[in-house]
Amino acid sequence: MDKKKDDITVKFIGNSAIDVTGSAVLITFLGKTYLIECGSAQGYNMDKCYTLNSQLINSIKVEKLEAIWLLHQHCDHIGATPGVVKKTGFHADIFTTHETAGLIKIMLLDASHIIKTEAEILNKTRKVSPLYKDEDVVKTCDFIKGCDIGTKYGINENVSFVLHNNNHCLGASQLEVFFKKSNNTIKKLVYTSDLGSSLNKHKPFVTKSERVTQGNTTIIEGTYGLKGRSFTAKDVHDEKEDMKETIKLVLSKGGKILLPSFSFSRTQEILVDIFNLFHEDTDFGDTPVIVDSKLSVAITEGYKDVLKGKNLKLINDVTEWENVKMNKGIEGTRMVIASNKPCIIISSQGFLDAGRSQLYAKTFLSSPNDAILFVGYCPANSVGGRIQSNKMGGTVKICGVDYVKNCLIKSYRTYSSHMQSKELVEYIAQVNSEQVIIHHSDKSAKAELIKDAQEELSRICKTTKVIGSTKNYEFIL
């Protein structure tokens, strides 16, 4: 690739180039660099995740790094950032929305704790150091600048940007970056980050996504590129009704319900749904709705610091509902498990691979009166994935122990916070760019989305090129 002095070079340096985690895109322009997201690779074994994340951090040189954009606070988009910030000479501004700026410290401190624990485990077989520590998280937060949606910010005389609405989760945004070249022409890169679905019209605490349609190149996510993983607006309605009836049935039998849920965004969404379904239901009585996770409780409280207006009123109404109980400690978990009182438990982690939710699952699995309701995707090899796929009456291995599967199991797929296949094709069809690059997607989903998008573009007589990212893929804007 022949390069000129004022070329804008864009390189996929993170794992999202080939899979659904680890977003990181590095831009080089006029001798300076700019980083779009800095996420952790997740979903592999501990050793592989450590290696991938260490390689990402080591690849980023900070001396000429001018800015980092963090477009929402899921760890596969922010989780490696403190490992970069701790490097000697780091001076870049970190731009994000005000909501993400207000909550990110909670998320990264939890990530730091996990990183420390995993390093201790890995040290039993090879010598490693934690990728970062708590003090690096604190340092990271010192560089963060909260930005208004829709306002243009200048980084220097040649680079500026605008953040746009994105309903993926609270504080999520899309990015539009402007580069002024030496001949005064402007080149524009659009980066969607993870996109929320318009089918979840009543999803709380988010603002309707915009479609950013003008740019020289658009980089879009393709997580749900497979049509088979998609859902409809009717599915959303039907699943809410099914969840309500299932909860009523289990409670009527004296059972308990576990909803394994990640601490940020999904926990608060589920809590609002339970409130809306039951807070005026006299038959529901004093049934406890327990949020059981130190991190989930901290984030839910953190919502009150960043929300305003009707959203602040909603989170206050929900958390002040007399049925809602917040539990931070393990002793409270043991008391709930020992109690015979029917209840609803929202507990992390969503995949059941760790955390309090796994303790509940071990207890509930063998009980025909209890239920585990999954409200998000679980990888096939996770504990949650095995619970869903193994036959009733069979066993599920958790931490080397076999547990008989006798409890009620249901999976609700419409809680996905990602744009669905049809919506992604519609977005791509509206884009007026020279090319669209799909990342944050596995190989099969990427291939199907490219095929579907090309067919739609051909149908409407547009010549936009659609390609998929590959490892370390690089292009000139």
Q: Give this prediction's pTM.
A: 0.94
Cα 347 to Cα 306: distance, rounded to the nearest angstrom: 23
Q: Where are the domains of the chain?
A: 9-228+417-476, 233-415
Task: Indicate if the pLDDT at residue 1 is higher than 80.
Answer: no
Cα 204 to Cα 234: distance, rounded to the nearest angstrom: 18
By CB neighbour count within 10 A (0-12 exposed, 13-18 middle, 19+ buried), where does 307 fall?
buried
Among 199-213, 280-294, 388-402, the range with the most confident prediction by mean pLDDT is 280-294
Q: Which fold has domain 9-228+417-476?
A: Metallo-beta-lactamase; Chain A (3.60.15)
What's the pLDDT at 376?
86
Q: Which fold has domain 233-415?
A: Rossmann fold (3.40.50)
Per the CB < 8 A criterion, the answer to whether 305 and 217 are in contact is no
What's the pLDDT at 377?
81
Q: How far is CA 156 from CA 1, 71, 147, 333, in A?
A: 27, 20, 16, 51
What is the arithmetic mean of pLDDT over 36-55?
94
Question: What is the number of residues in the chain?
Answer: 477
Task: Indicate if the pLDDT at residue 35 is higher than 80.
Answer: yes
pLDDT digits (tens, 9 = 90+) for 283-322: 999 999 999 999 999 999 999 999 999 999 999 999 999 9
Stated as kind and residue range, the H or E segment containing 429 is helix 421-430
Average model confidence (pLDDT) across the chain: 95
Q: Percent of the chain, pLDDT > 90?
A: 90
What is the arithmetic mean of pLDDT over 132-143?
98
What residues does 145 pair with on adjacent strands?
Answer: 95
Domains 9-228+417-476 and 233-415 agree in fold: no
Residue where the block lists tokens 């884009």:
431
CA angle 290/372/390 to nearest 5° reads: 155
Cα 388 to Cα 405: distance, rounded to the nearest angstrom: 10
- Lowest mean pLDDT, pick from 111-120, 154-163, 412-421: 412-421
Q: How far is CA 159 from CA 137, 156, 296, 401, 434, in A?
A: 27, 6, 37, 56, 20
Task: Indicate if the pLDDT at residue 2 is higher than 70.
Answer: no
Number of other residues whose CB lies within 10 A of the CB of residue 178: 17
What's the pLDDT at 3?
73
